[in-house]
Amino acid sequence: MARVRKGAGRPAPLRVLHVAAEWFPLVKTGGLADVVAALPAAQRAAGLDARLLLPAYPALRQALAGATEVARIGAAFGAARVALLRGTLPGSDVPTYLIDAPWLYDRPGNPYLGPDGQEWADTLQRFGLLGWTGAQLAAGGLDPDWAPAVVHAHDWHAALVPVYLAARGTAGTHARTVLTVHNLAYQGRFALERFGELGLPAWMAGPAGIEFHGTLRLLKGGLMFADRITTVSPTYAREILGPAEGHELDDVLRHRADRLTGIVNGIDDAVWNPAADPAIAAPYDATDLAGKAACKLALQRELGLAQVAGAPLLGVISRLTPQKGLDLLLSTLPQWLGAGGQVALVGSGDPALEHAWRAAAQAAPDAVGVRIGYDEALAHRVVAGSDLIGVPSRFEPCGLTQLYGLRYGSLPVVHRVGGLADTVVDADEEALREDRATGFAFAGASPEALARALRHALDGWHHPAAWKRVQRRAMAQDTSWRAPAARYAALYAEALAGP
Ligand code: ADP
């Protein structure tokens, strides 16, 4: 009798390798880390063989369980000893490759800056090695047991993966490449004289390669050579084709517009779940919001705000950079406070903005609570305890905090751009009538437009029944990774089938 092999007939799962510079929670400076942790996990849950490639920063190297050496690479990019390890990271079932290169990665600080806040002098080598290793793995040259069919590179840090693969030419089979741009403002810019450090063919030092206006621009190289380009929302995908948001690369992007798609990020619904969030004062869900009121009082207490249930509390969790538009909020603060509003802000970044927000808190300590720094647990408490989440970004590729706001019934107040436009439905009359409204959106990055949106929110706040309806609609949105993971899977299939 013929023996039936277990699983015979089922197609082998699609092998995809994500290459990135950050991983939540151990190495995170922004939303990129969340995506890099959650998307491969969601893909595995959907049946793909998704894996990760990251630099062996100390926090990751120490946390890697079951580490085995899959390749000894030797000397590369100025490091005397480079090896490729494979294991898993805590709380994750995603097989993870770490590039063990102590000379380049075993140091304090974050992926881009030293503890003194200065950029690393050898950033080019650090991410040159990341891109090169991604390409070698993709070409089947490093792990004898595994090679991806699709290699998915994230941001400029990994943008050299398609470049190194293109440098190999068409000889041999290799993976298809997808490059996701999480924020076009960051492009990996270096002096052209350093081209030699990358070991790429000479022609790539020209306009057909990674040169751009007399400098190296790693992201531009990735945009030239990736088989598919994605960014993190459909609206941002359109915006970056024009000069206003194209950050000089709009021309390059227009040439590749037929390969560009926008896919909105999800959020990790296990980490961001008001019904089971260990960081918050009381759990709640859409059917019973009593816990949310307790979260608000606890947050007001924690930040030294007046404990008034009726005062609308606007939460902000953000990097403090001009992109995020929090200077607009500072300008409208007197009106918001004058109307009885409160603000809870956790953030860090530009010293001038940090100073201005500290000063705002000092001027009105019972209405403005500010914590300068990076605090994951406090971020959860701010999302849960606030009535509104403010995201007045000048531009926003996707944005995650408005998604947290939706999930926690804290209505987003957003500038209608990028992913903010794609994820928040303004509570105008029509949307309210059709029960589609999930927040408040304004057009134009001006203090006046933001002030109007806040007045609109205040109106809503004074109509509790309507407010609750919008809250429930917001909480009913699918902000999980399921739909985006399926969209990426469809894109991979298209990349494998198409040119
Ligand atoms: P960006 O990646 O541009 O910073 P996103 O909204 O996509 O913006 O992602 C920001 C992520 O970083 C969110 O997960 C947010 O909660 C988190 N975050 C930003 N600043 C802080 C902070 N000071 N403390 C805790 N979390 C923060």
| CB 88 less than 6 A from any atom of ligand 1 | no
Mutate to test the pocket of ligand 1, among 39, 184, 318, 374 (most ligand atoms within 8 A of CB): 318
Q: Is CATH 3.30.70.1560 the right assignment for the domain spanning 290-475?
A: no
Mutate to test the pocket of ligand 1, among 317, 358, 376 (most ligand atoms within 8 A of CB): 317
Using pLDDT thresholds of 50, 70 and 90, give the confidence band for residue 4. Answer: very low
Residue 169: predicted pLDDT: 79
pLDDT over threshold 90, residue 254: yes
Residue 231 one-letter amino acid = T
Cβ neighbours, 10 Å, residue 243: 10
Q: Do domains 15-113+121-266+482-497 and 290-475 have the same CATH topology?
A: yes
**Average pLDDT of every residue of the chain:** 95
Q: What are phi and psi of 69, to 5 degrees?
A: -85, 120
| CB 374 less than 6 A from any atom of ligand 1 | yes
Q: What percent of the chain has pLDDT over 70?
A: 97
Q: What are phi and psi of 201, to 5 degrees?
A: -65, 150
Q: What are phi and psi of 375, to 5 degrees?
A: -145, 100
- The mean pLDDT value for 229-241 works out to 98
Nearest to 73 by CA among 49, 97, 106, 108: 97
Atom of ligand 1 nearest to the CA of 402: 6
Q: How far apart (Å, rounded) are the C-alpha atoms in residues 139 and 314?
A: 49
Atom of ligand 1 nearest to the CA of 348: 23
Which tens digits make up the pLDDT trace of 87-103?
Answer: 999 999 999 999 999 99
Residue 445 token pair? 């990055």
| CB 161 less than 6 A from any atom of ligand 1 | no
Q: How far apart (Å, rounded) are the C-alpha atoms in residues 92 and 451?
A: 43
Q: What are phi and psi of 278, to 5 degrees?
A: -65, -15
| CB 31 less than 6 A from any atom of ligand 1 | yes
- Laid out side by side, the sheet with 368-372 consists of 368-372, 342-349, 313-320, 388-391, 411-415, 440-442
Q: What percent of the chain has pLDDT over 90?
A: 94
Which tens digits make up the pLDDT trace of 274-289?
Answer: 999 999 999 999 999 9
Contact 264, 484 (CB under 8 A): yes
Residue 9: predicted pLDDT: 66
- The mean pLDDT value for 229-250 works out to 98
Q: How far apart (Å, rounded) are the C-alpha atoms in residues 442 and 444?
A: 7
Can you give the residue ranges of every domain in the chain? 15-113+121-266+482-497, 290-475
Query: Cα(399) to centroid of ligand 1, in Å?
Result: 8
Mutate to test the pocket of ligand 1, among 400, 403, 417 (most ligand atoms within 8 A of CB): 400
Mutate to test the pocket of ligand 1, among 157, 389, 401, 404 (most ligand atoms within 8 A of CB): 401
Contact 149, 14 (CB under 8 A): yes
Residue 171: predicted pLDDT: 55
Query: Cα(233) to centroid of ligand 1, in Å?
Result: 17
Residue 90 one-letter amino acid = P
Q: How far apart (Å, rounded) are the C-alpha atoms in residues 280 and 379?
A: 10
pLDDT over threshold 60, residue 8: no
Which tens digits make up the pLDDT trace of 404-414?
Answer: 999 999 999 99
Contact 55, 189 (CB under 8 A): no
Packing angle, helices 160-167 and 218-225, rounded to 10: 60
Q: Is CATH 3.40.50.2000 the right assignment for the domain spanning 15-113+121-266+482-497?
A: yes
Which tens digits make up the pLDDT trace of 120-144?
Answer: 999 999 999 999 999 999 998 899 9
Query: Cα(385) to centroid of ligand 1, in Å?
Result: 17
Query: Cα(30) to centroid of ligand 1, in Å?
Result: 5
Which tens digits make up the pLDDT trace of 10-48?
Answer: 789 999 999 999 999 999 998 899 999 999 999 999 999
